[in-house]
């Protein structure tokens, strides 16, 4: 089925939905109702928020409209007539849309039965052509996506040409729901959020924190082996720092300012800002001494907590947050070294992605500047074109497949983005490697080359496992909560059958823990079957069961998933599990 036809079908379904809503709630005001990637939506101004139960009623009314088999008739009105129409029907959003149309053009309308909508089309000719649809959810959405405007109610739905395709799609959505980190990450107690703490500020709970600790140690140790020098730098700095870096002029809206915002431009008053990146701080290590070409390359890394003031509407679980932790690093190198260093960064990222099992899910994006919007960037056209050409040459020589994206560069240089899709199909950046030809000169970083001349080093900004919170979210979705054994926050559950086995169980637990394995014991006064099921629901790999026989023979019964693996001596089992847990 051509995509265009599917869009037409879905957009027609949006009209039918709007008609149903108008029949049920005559005072509702209509905004817009386009087709989108997986379906359609329509925005309404309503007196109260809509509920899931009301969606069902709307869906029933839609089915009636489909059965009525109304014809969609096209007509046009002059600008003045169109305004009069919008005013007569008390549709202020439609009036605003008409105001946005070219003044010399007629406004296009579609009518089906008693319902008329301002719309350019196209649509299917009759309502009966919409055979398979489903309303999915309702959410708040600002008019024109602007927080300063009124919050409207957006109803999402989807439609297909056949019932079978619709059923298949709904099944996919169900599957995605089962993996959605925003649901199971909370159910399995990896993280939580609290309204009065704030949007995009997740509280990472012990299980999530354990996974992050394992990843962080793994990353820092590997980077140390690859010649990185660890730094630990401040979370905030005076505005002076960001003036040098350019963030103050280009990125101030994205930063959290500490102090009276009215004093932001008053140099006599101190103004601090939380850091959105680590570069200016790590540069100070370089600047602490004079450097010669013999010192280069210098590679710095830091597990850095960063803060970015993104709109609350865009927050999503652990994927879009306002405070996050980045495996951040900067490399200062000579022009001769930059190609190898850049490739080394890609190779390191690939190494980590391979290890955690996300390598097959990623794609590469070469993010360039937008030459038509130069105000968003620092540096001149010649430099940008030079560095982008140079970076393209390196990328081509690595043989990786990448797409090019205009307007996605950082404000100080182009970047390679490693992209990944979440369970809902939404793509985000996981890891970046950037070549920067601006900041070294802004911060006065130089080295003496072999001829005794002082020149600016190239700077590579890079992450290697990306944003830890986002990586955790993607791992939860990838494994549906069942982390691989080496990453699992709780690897083993010790299950005493009766109260008299508790003492033996606590000894087993102590031995497992001191052997570096992550274990818990379930001492609750519940049936063994219940405790096993609970451990399975918690995605715990190994269950060790202790009853009379095991205690007497000084053994444990081993169970994995639904498999009973029989009795084992504890020391032998510990050795086996340690080998499995090795990174």
Q: Which residues bind Zn ion (CB under 5 A)?
A: 119, 277, 279, 461
Closer residue to Zn ion in complex, CB, 7/567: 7
| In contact, 282 and 213? CB cutoff 8 Å | no
* Alpha helices per DSSP H over 288-380: 338-356
The candidate with the shortest Cα–Cα distance to 216, out of 395, 520, 466, is: 466
Smallest separation, CB 306 to Zn ion (Å): 10
Smallest separation, CB 410 to Zn ion (Å): 8
* Residues 6 or more apart whose Cβ sits within 8 Å of residue 402: 363, 364, 365, 366, 395, 416
Smallest separation, CB 118 to Zn ion (Å): 8
Smallest separation, CB 442 to Zn ion (Å): 12
Closer residue to Zn ion in complex, CB, 301/471: 301
Determine the Cα–Cα distance for residues 98 and 107; give it in Å rounded to an integer: 7
Closer residue to Zn ion in complex, CB, 50/119: 119
The candidate with the shortest Cα–Cα distance to 9, out of 119, 163, 156, 158, is: 158
Closer residue to Zn ion in complex, CB, 279/346: 279
Smallest separation, CB 249 to Zn ion (Å): 17
Determine the Cα–Cα distance for residues 141 and 146; give it in Å rounded to an integer: 9
Smallest separation, CB 83 to Zn ion (Å): 19
* Residues 6 or more apart whose Cβ sits within 8 Å of residue 168: none
* Alpha helices per DSSP H over 427-501: 439-442, 468-478
User: Angle at the Cα of 426 (from 18 to 156), degrees rounded to 5?
Assistant: 15
Closer residue to Zn ion in complex, CB, 110/390: 110
Joined tokens for residue 198:
């704030």
CA 215 distance to own-chain centroid = 18
Buried-exposed string 91-112: b where 16+ CB fall within 10 A, e elsewhere: bebbbebbeeeeeeeebbbbeb
Determine the Cα–Cα distance for residues 448 and 334; give it in Å rounded to an integer: 10
Report the sign of the C-alpha dihedral through residues 251, 198, 149, 139, in that order.
positive
Closer residue to Zn ion in complex, CB, 135/277: 277
What DSSP element (H or E) covers 175? helix 163-179
Smallest separation, CB 13 to Zn ion (Å): 10
Smallest separation, CB 122 to Zn ion (Å): 8
Smallest separation, CB 33 to Zn ion (Å): 7
Closer residue to Zn ion in complex, CB, 247/461: 461
SS3 of 129-160: the string is: HCCEEEEEEEEEEEHHHCCCCCEEEEEEEEEE
Helix, strand, coil share of the chain (percent; to 5): 40, 25, 30
Smallest separation, CB 57 to Zn ion (Å): 23
Smallest separation, CB 539 to Zn ion (Å): 36
Smallest separation, CB 330 to Zn ion (Å): 6
The candidate with the shortest Cα–Cα distance to 182, out of 169, 195, 191, is: 191
Closer residue to Zn ion in complex, CB, 440/495: 440
Determine the Cα–Cα distance for residues 332 and 447; give it in Å rounded to an integer: 10
Closer residue to Zn ion in complex, CB, 97/577: 97
Smallest separation, CB 117 to Zn ion (Å): 6
Closer residue to Zn ion in complex, CB, 190/468: 468
Closer residue to Zn ion in complex, CB, 15/531: 15
Report the sign of the C-alpha dihedral through residues 461, 462, 468, 473, in that order.
positive
Determine the Cα–Cα distance for residues 191 and 202; give it in Å rounded to an integer: 7
Closer residue to Zn ion in complex, CB, 191/412: 412
Closer residue to Zn ion in complex, CB, 119/542: 119
CA 476 distance to own-chain centroid = 12
Beta bridge mates, 365: 403, 417
Torsion of CA 79, 84, 86, 88, to 10 degrees: -170
């Amino acid at each position: 089925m051509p995509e265009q036809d599917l869009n037409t079908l879905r957009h027609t379904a949006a009209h039918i939905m709007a008609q149903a809503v108008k029949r049920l709630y005559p005072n509702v005001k209509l905004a817009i109702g386009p087709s989108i990637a997986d379906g359609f939506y329509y925005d309404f101004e309503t007196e109260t928020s809509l509920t899931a139960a009301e969606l069902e009623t709307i869906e029933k009314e839609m089915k009636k409209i489909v059965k009525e088999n109304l014809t969609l008739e096209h007509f046009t009105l002059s600008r003045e007539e169109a305004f009069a129409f919008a005013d007569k029907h008390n549709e202020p959003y439609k009036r605003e849309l008409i105001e946005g149309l070219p003044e010399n053009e007629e406004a296009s309308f579609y009518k089906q039965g008693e319902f008329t909508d301002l719309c350019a089309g196209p649509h299917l000719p009759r309502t009966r052509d919409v055979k398979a649809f489903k309303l999915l959810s309702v959410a708040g959405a600002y008019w024109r996506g602007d927080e300063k405007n009124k919050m409207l109610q957006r109803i999402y739905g989807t439609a297909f040409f056949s019932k079978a395709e619709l059923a298949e799609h709904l099944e996919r959505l169900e599957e995605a729901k089962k993996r959605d980190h925003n649901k199971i990450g909370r159910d399995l107690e990896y993280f939580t959020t609290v309204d009065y703490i704030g949007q995009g500020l997740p509280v990472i709970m012990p299980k999530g924190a354990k996974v992050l600790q394992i990843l962080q140690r793994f990353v820092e140790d590997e980077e140390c082996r690859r010649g990185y020098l660890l730094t630990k730098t401040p979370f905030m700095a005076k505005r002076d720092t960001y003036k040098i870096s350019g963030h103050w002029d280009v990125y101030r809206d994205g930063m959290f300012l500490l102090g009276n915002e009215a004093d932001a431009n008053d140099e006599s008053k101190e103004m601090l800002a939380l850091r959105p990146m680590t570069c200016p701080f790590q540069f100070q290590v370089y600047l602490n001494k004079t450097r010669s070409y013999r010192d280069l390359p210098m590679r710095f890394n830091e597990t850095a907590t960063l803060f970015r003031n993104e709109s609350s509407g865009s927050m999503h679980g652990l994927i879009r947050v306002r405070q996050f932790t980045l495996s951040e690093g900067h490399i200062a190198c000579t022009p001769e070294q930059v190609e190898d260093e850049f490739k080394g960064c890609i190779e390191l990222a690939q190494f980590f992605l391979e290890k955690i099992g996300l390598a097959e899910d990623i794609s590469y994006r070469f993010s360039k500047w937008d030459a038509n919007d130069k105000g968003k960037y620092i540096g001149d056209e010649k430099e940008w074109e030079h560095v982008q050409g140079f970076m393209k040459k390196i990328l081509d020589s690595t043989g990786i497949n990448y797409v090019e994206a205009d307007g996605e560069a950082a404000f100080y240089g182009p970047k390679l983005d490693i992209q990944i899709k979440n369970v809902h199909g939404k793509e985000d950046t996981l890891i970046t490697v950037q070549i920067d030809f601006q900041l070294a000169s802004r911060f006065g970083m130089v080295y003496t080359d072999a001829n005794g001349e002082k020149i600016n080093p190239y700077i590579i900004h890079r992450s290697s496992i990306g944003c830890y919170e986002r990586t955790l979210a993607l791992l939860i979705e990838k494994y549906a909560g069942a982390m691989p054994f080496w990453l699992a926050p709780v690897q083993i559950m010790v299950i005493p059958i009766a109260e008299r086995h508790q003492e033996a169980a606590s000894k087993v637990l102590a031995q497992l823990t001191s052997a570096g394995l992550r274990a818990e014991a379930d001492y609750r006064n519940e049936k063994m079957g219940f405790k096993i099921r609970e451990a399975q629901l918690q995605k715990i790999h190994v269950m060790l069961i202790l009853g009379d026989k095991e205690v007497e023979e000084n053994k444990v019964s081993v169970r994995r998933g639904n498999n009973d693996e029989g009795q084992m001596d504890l020391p032998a089992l510990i050795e086996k599990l340690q080998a499995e847990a090795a990174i």
